[in-house]
Amino acid sequence: MSYAIETPTSQLWLSSRRDPSDAARYTAPGEDRILSYTNLKLALSLVPLLWSRFALLFWQGGHRTRLLAFALSKILKGFLPAAKIWASSALLDEVQASFGASKDEDVDQGKIIRLAISSLVISAGNSILDFLSTNNNVIVKHHVDHQVERLYMSSQLSLDIPTLSDPTVSALIYEAGCFAGFESRTSRPGMGSSMTGRMRSRPGAFLTLSQLLNSVTLSVEVVTASALLFRTLSTALEQMQTQTHEKDRDAVSLLFGISTKSVILLVLCFLPSVLSLSGTLFSLSVPLKPKGKLAAPGKLKNNPGISESESHARRETGYEVQHMKVLGKNGKYKQEVVLFGLKEWILTKWEGLVNLQMETEMAHRGRLGWMLVSFRVSEEAVQTAFLALLALRSFGTSISLGSIRLYQSTASSLLGSLRSLTRSLQQSVQSLFYMAAFFEAIDMTAILEEKGRRALKVSSGNVVDYETTRLPGGMRIEARNLGFTYPGQQEPVLRDINLVVEPGSTVAIVGLNGGGKTTLVKVLMGLYDHTGDLLINGHPAEAFPSKQLHARTTCCFQDHGKYQLTLQENIGIGNVDMIDSRVDIDRAIVKGGAESVRDRVGLGGKLDDVGVPKVLNETVTKDVRKAHDADTRPSDDKPGSSAGLRFRGRGKGSTASSDVGKDTPPSSASQRTSLSGGQWQRVALARAFLRADDADLVVFDEPSASLDPQAEQALFKRVHALSSGEDGKRTTTIFISHRIQTVRRADKIVVVENGTIIESGPHDALMAMKGRYAEFFNLQREGFD
């Protein structure tokens, strides 16, 4: 392992991932373990290491009374099935005794009534407890998931790309995501509802907590059901006998072969089932939203009981929550999330949205739940009355109750509890391994955030405060024999890179596609790990906390993020301290050439990162439920693509014009505006310029790729101004361009080919060499002749 996360917990977690057929191999992240003796021992070894942290995780965040109520309700439910069967059994005993007694014998009416009331109270209490615990569970689930999801998102947002590129760290983070409900886990046959194949699921922390408590509940059920079954079998066998009664002779008996009283008893016998069915049909006929998540994109269907505006508000809230989770998962947005320090901003925005979801969730609960409870209580009341009337001899009947119903229900309850307990224990064992990954990820990222990436290395050194090393004019970068290889690849992408970038200078990087230009600038910015030496202001890059380096760096990436946020937020994330400053954002918009986007969309207009309108300048209405799916699928990017280091994770057009600078949203709240490639380019440039005044290093990767010639000329005028500001402020600037005419003013031009630097120098010197650069320049010049 290249990173020092070798704690007892991490070692047990890693051992559980060993392939049973080959100890040198590991199973894929998110793959449930085989329930073997070895894995069971590993899981039991994790219990003393995790149980206190697991309990404290939920206990310290509030709602302690509700958490206790949640746990007690789970335990209490273990006794209720046996108590219900016992009450029914005792009442049936009285029924059997009543049938066996002569007409002259008195029955203990008081005892029968007490047993009937006890059975009713237990049955009704079970239904009421289900309803009350369901509402409590909603709040507990919100609390539990909120605690775990926030820690996981915070952990993910704290990771830098080099750390995440380590295979062991990547697997650890993925399985931490399985525990938090962000990533899917693969259950083996028999582990879920499917007995024939594998099943993908995202159980989440609340379900893990429920599974552990369910194991306790089911254990209680098994013990009590076993004791009750033994008692009923030993006593009821003695009482079983055939009861024969003389039938009443009337029209009903002639028609159906049984007496009128028997027909009434049959109606009372089946009425509970009718009530149960009625309650089910009633619940299906009343419009209900999904539980847990108000408007998860792709799952919310048209609901006639919800107004259009309310439905849209839920859909938008659910959509934005999911998008914040996408940012927290570090997919294609990772490089800008890391560089621009968006952690706290994302967490704050996400927290506000999930709280809004919770408020709306609780506002729509109430009347329907009590109606369903009424059906259940009525069902139990009829069933109890049926037995009580028989015991009180209110009807003479030829129907034989028998005790078979009691035996079957008791045995069925016991067998069902045993099956459920086995499945629950299997799931709990799996959850322990995902829980271990979660806590290890939290500990690892805490070290990374406090001391930098070097603290995670097996051989670590002293941490250097970047602010004490700053130089006039910008950042000085020196690469010595620098190299880089994508994880899992054999051939290096960069090799033998030797380069010095002086403070305040402008460096242009040119070369053929696929030569390593973009990878080189990302390595120089510290986004990718490397071999060889990379010195920043004379110190190893790894010695600086990544957060400090990134705070003094800004970049317009070629694969820049297209955030499904407002225009103001899309630009403001370049410097979250200025996200609410209209003056600073407008200044960045001017520098980035994005005035036309602002004028048409408005700062408050929401942007869409997918969809290309058929006609230029048309208004586009997007279905946010469909658009979300494109962001949440696991990335299949190849090395060097927008996803970065292949770690596992899982347009033209505009709106109608509006007044300049006004916060004008699209024409309808349900609309999101799709931008063209050039418009998104301008937004990304404005995002980079928002931090340029505070940056020591500014990087542009193909900044004019989607710009017209006039915009390109204006852009490079501003780029070169960064290294020769009229106010004396200078910034080190690096940019990549395929258009040779735009690089001739650079202080140094670097030609990269096949992963190494083949030429370096100013324009005139490289032209005099008549090498590769001169060839590029002449080829492009000939195209204009």
User: What pLDDT, on the 0 to 100 scale, is given for residue 766?
Assistant: 94
The residues, any chain, with a CB within 8 Å of residue 370's CB and separated by 6 or more, are 131
User: For residues 326 and 727, what is the distance between their CA atoms, to the nearest angstrom?
Assistant: 41
User: What pLDDT, on the 0 to 100 scale, is given for residue 753?
Assistant: 94
pLDDT score of 306 more than 60? no
640 or 275, greater pLDDT: 275
Residue listed under structure tokens 């000939």:
782
481 CA to centre of own chain: 40
**Stretch 768-780: mean pLDDT, rounded?**
91
User: What pLDDT, on the 0 to 100 scale, is given for residue 51?
Assistant: 85
pLDDT score of 533 more than 80? yes
* Helical packing angle, 109-158 and 37-59, nearest 10°: 90
User: What pLDDT, on the 0 to 100 scale, is given for residue 356?
Assistant: 82
Share of the chain above pLDDT 70, in %: 66
Residue listed under structure tokens 């008893």:
265
**Stretch 55-70: mean pLDDT, rounded?**
77
pLDDT score of 758 more than 90? yes
User: For residues 381 and 275, what is the distance between their CA atoms, to the nearest angstrom?
Assistant: 11
User: What pLDDT, on the 0 to 100 scale, is given for residue 141?
Assistant: 81
Edge-to-edge order in the sheet of strand 756-761: 553-556, 697-701, 732-736, 506-510, 748-753, 756-761
User: For residues 781 and 785, what is the distance between their CA atoms, to the nearest angstrom?
Assistant: 7
Model confidence at 364, pLDDT cuts 50, 70, 90, reads low
Residue listed under structure tokens 């009704």:
124
Share of the chain above pLDDT 90, in %: 19
The residues, any chain, with a CB within 8 Å of residue 687's CB and separated by 6 or more, are 336, 340, 556, 560, 570, 571, 573, 574, 588, 592
Return the top range by mean pLDDT from 446-450, 724-728, 761-765: 761-765
Tokens representing 551?
Answer: 């705070």
702 or 234, greater pLDDT: 702
67 or 505, greater pLDDT: 505
Map residue 517 onto helix, strand or coil.
helix
For the chain, the domains span 1-239+403-461, 466-552+695-785
Model confidence at 201, pLDDT cuts 50, 70, 90, reads low
pLDDT score of 617 more than 50? no
Closest CA to 122 of 372, 370, 383, 369: 383
User: For residues 111 and 319, what is the distance between their CA atoms, to the nearest angstrom?
Assistant: 59
Choice among 69-78, 227-236, 484-493 with the minimum mean pLDDT: 227-236
Closest CA to 106 of 116, 115, 94: 94
**Stretch 322-328: mean pLDDT, rounded?**
84
pLDDT score of 301 more than 60? no
pLDDT score of 506 more than 80? yes
Choice among 268-277, 641-650, 724-733 with the minimum mean pLDDT: 641-650
pLDDT score of 313 more than 90? no
User: What pLDDT, on the 0 to 100 scale, is given for residue 366?
Assistant: 53
Burial of 444 (0-12, 13-18, 19+ CB in 10 A): buried
Q: What angle do CA 260, 263, 266 make, to 5 degrees?
A: 155
527 or 722, greater pLDDT: 527
Query: How many CB atoms are located within 10 Å of the residue 25 CB?
Result: 10
682-741 pLDDT, tens digit each = 999 999 999 888 899 999 998 887 777 787 888 888 887 776 655 667 899 999 988 887
Model confidence at 615, pLDDT cuts 50, 70, 90, reads very low
**Stretch 112-123: mean pLDDT, rounded?**
80
Write phi, then psi, for 645 (nearest 5 degrees).
-105, 25
**Stretch 115-119: mean pLDDT, rounded?**
81
**Stretch 127-137: mean pLDDT, rounded?**
76
368 or 440, greater pLDDT: 440
The residues, any chain, with a CB within 8 Å of residue 44's CB and separated by 6 or more, are none
User: For residues 535 and 518, what is the distance between their CA atoms, to the nearest angstrom?
Assistant: 19
User: What pLDDT, on the 0 to 100 scale, is given for residue 468?
Assistant: 93
Give the helix/strand (H/E) hosting 381.
helix 367-391
User: What pLDDT, on the 0 to 100 scale, is given for residue 165?
Assistant: 74
pLDDT score of 611 more than 50? no
pLDDT score of 31 more than 50? yes
pLDDT score of 2 more than 80? no
Judge contact between 653 and 616, C-beta under 8 A: yes
User: What pLDDT, on the 0 to 100 scale, is given for residue 294?
Assistant: 39
Listed in sequence order, the DSSP H helices in 452-594 are 517-524, 546-551, 567-572, 582-592
User: For residues 433 and 440, what is the distance between their CA atoms, to the nearest angstrom?
Assistant: 11
Return the top range by mean pLDDT from 93-102, 121-130, 428-437, 716-725: 428-437
User: What pLDDT, on the 0 to 100 scale, is given for residue 275?
Assistant: 64
pLDDT score of 163 more than 80? no
pLDDT score of 540 more than 60? yes
Tokens representing 210?
Answer: 């429920």
Return the top range by mean pLDDT from 4-8, 51-55, 103-107, 163-167: 51-55
Q: What is the DSSP string of 548-562?
A: HHHHTEEEE-TT---
Distinct helix (H) and strand (E) counts, the chain = 24, 16
Residue listed under structure tokens 């064992």:
429
Model confidence at 317, pLDDT cuts 50, 70, 90, reads confident
| Cα distance between the two ends of the chain | 57
Give the helix/strand (H/E) hosting 483.
strand 477-484
Judge contact between 507 and 746, C-beta under 8 A: yes
User: What pLDDT, on the 0 to 100 scale, is given for residue 584?
Assistant: 94
| Domain 466-552+695-785 in CATH 3.40.50.300 | yes
User: What pLDDT, on the 0 to 100 scale, is given for residue 475?
Assistant: 94
How far, CA to CA in Å, does 263 sit from each of 270, 386, 553?
A: 11, 12, 85
Judge contact between 87 and 115, C-beta under 8 A: yes
Give the global pTM.
Answer: 0.63
Model confidence at 755, pLDDT cuts 50, 70, 90, reads very high
Model confidence at 95, pLDDT cuts 50, 70, 90, reads confident
Choice among 31-35, 114-118, 255-259 with the minimum mean pLDDT: 255-259
User: What pLDDT, on the 0 to 100 scale, is given for residue 414?
Assistant: 67
User: For residues 170 and 186, what is the distance between their CA atoms, to the nearest angstrom?
Assistant: 17
**Stretch 327-343: mean pLDDT, rounded?**
81
Type of residue found at 625: R
Tokens representing 180?
Answer: 């938090």
pLDDT score of 87 more than 60? yes
